[in-house]
Amino acid sequence: LAKTTQPISMDSYEGQEVNITCSHNNIATNDYITWYQQFPSQGPRFIIQGYKTKVTNEVASLFIPADRKSSTLSLPRVSLSDTAVYYCLVGDPNTGNQFYFGTGTSLTVIP
């Protein structure tokens, strides 16, 4: 079971790029890395998913080194509305078993 470790909290000013790193030393061969964003009183919302190297979509980029023991979510030019908790989730989506949520990183964007 791949356990994840993230910083508990981060602060950033509006307009800056934010990088949140997740450690997953026990990641298995078939595990994918998925990042979610969660606002208070809402369910986690999918941001991005990757297996290795770099993945980019319209809202974020995900960097995964060759050993896959960590991953970094990059949010370009954050705004106040990006204030939320960000979770790194590691698991095998093709079996769907025992996905593990870490403690999450509480990001606060400052005006």
Partner 1 sequence: EAGVTQFPSHSVIEKGQTVTLRCDPISGHDNLYWYRRVMGKEIKFLLHFVKESKQDESGMPNNRFLAERTGGTYSTLKVQPAELEDSGVYFCASSVGLAGGLVSDTQYFGPGTRLTVL
The contact set with partner 1 (CB under 8 A) reads 32, 34, 36, 41-46, 49, 51, 87, 93-104
- Scan for tokens 């999918």, then name that residue: 46
- Give the nearer residue to partner 1 in terms of CB position, either 12 or 91: 91
Report in angstroms how near the CB of residue 87 gets to partner 1 at its nearest.
Answer: 7
Q: Which is nearer to partner 1, 96 or 111 (CB)?
A: 96
Q: Which ranges of 1-111 would DSSP assign to H, the alpha helix?
A: none
- Give yes or no for a contact between 12 and 108, defined as CB atoms under 8 angstroms apart: yes
CB of 72 to partner 1, least distance (A): 19
